[in-house]
Amino acid sequence: MCDKRIGTELGMLGNLLKRQMICTTGKGEMENITGMQSMILWFLMQTTEPRFQRDVETQFRIRRSTATGILNLMEEHGLLLREPVEQDRRLKRLVLTDRAKALYERIQQAMVQTEALMEEGIDPEDLAVWFRVCDKIRANLENYQRKASEGQG
pLDDT along the chain (153 residues), means of 10: 86 84 66 80 90 95 94 93 87 92 84 91 96 94 88 71
Indicate whether 105 and 34 sit together in one domain.
yes
Q: What are phi and psi of 115, to 5 degrees?
A: -60, -45
Indicate whether 49 and 96 sit together in one domain.
yes
Indicate whether 71 and 130 sit together in one domain.
no
Indicate whether 138 and 107 sit together in one domain.
no
Indicate whether 109 and 138 sit together in one domain.
no
Say how many domains are in the chain. 2
**CA–CA dist 138, 153 (Å, integer):** 17
Indicate whether 95 and 130 sit together in one domain.
no
Q: Which domain holds residue 39?
A: 6-120
Indicate whether 89 and 66 sit together in one domain.
yes
Does 141 map to a domain? yes
Cβ-Cβ contacts under 8 Å for 145 (sequence gap 6 or more): 153
pTM to 2 decimal places? 0.74
Indicate whether 96 and 140 sit together in one domain.
no
